Amino acid sequence: MAYENRNAAYNLELFSDNAAEKLPKKKKKTEHKKGNKVVSMPQEAIVKIRRRKHNPLKLFIGSVACVVITVIVSAIIIGQVQLTELNQQIINAKADLRNAQSTYTQQLMSLQADFTTNDIEKYARDNLGMSKAENAQKEFISLSKGDKAEISEEANQNFFQKIINAITGLWS
């Protein structure tokens, strides 16, 4: 039958104890030293060993590093405090400016309301001795030819000014 050859890969007889060579077993050491393994030391020596020995160079470098870090952190904190104070002063100055502008506008409006044209004429007549202009004081001019505008030119113009005037004359 075809199914009997299929389990050849699972031949367990290859792994049995008879097929493998037996290795010799090592002997365990049974020898133990007997005796007192506890070492006794005087109390002063134990305290001296337990005391940590400090390296002076490492202590100095550590101290300098701590001081530098403290100075840097302090400088950052002081800078932030000054920045906060300056921001608060700016906010207060802006508020004062807004209040002053508001007060100025209110006073200007009240001043304009107080001085009407009649009050100004009365003040000019009474205090300054002024009067309204009469027809005799007025000069009337008539332009029968129409409106003209004349531009007086400077007599001493340099070459560049003449060129600029010529170019602007083209556009006008």
pLDDT in tens, 120-137: 888 888 999 888 878 777
Q: Is position 110 within any domain? A: yes
The residue ranking higher by pLDDT, 41 or 153, is: 41
Q: Is position 144 within any domain? A: no
Q: Is position 154 within any domain? A: no
Number of domains in the chain: 1
Q: Is position 91 within any domain? A: yes
Q: What's the rounded mean pLDDT across residues 16-44?
A: 65
What pLDDT sits at residue 111?
82
What pLDDT sits at residue 54?
77
The 10 Å Cβ neighbour count of residue 97 is: 10
Q: Identity (one letter) of the amino acid at 88?
A: Q
Dump pLDDT digits (tens) for 10-20: 666 666 665 55
Taking CA 140 as the corner, what is the angle to CA 134 and CA 146, rounded to the nearest 5 degrees? Answer: 160
What is the domain range of residue 118? 62-130
Q: How many helices (H) and strands (E) does the chain have?
A: 4, 0
Nearest CA to 133 out of 125, 141, 123, 144 is that of 125
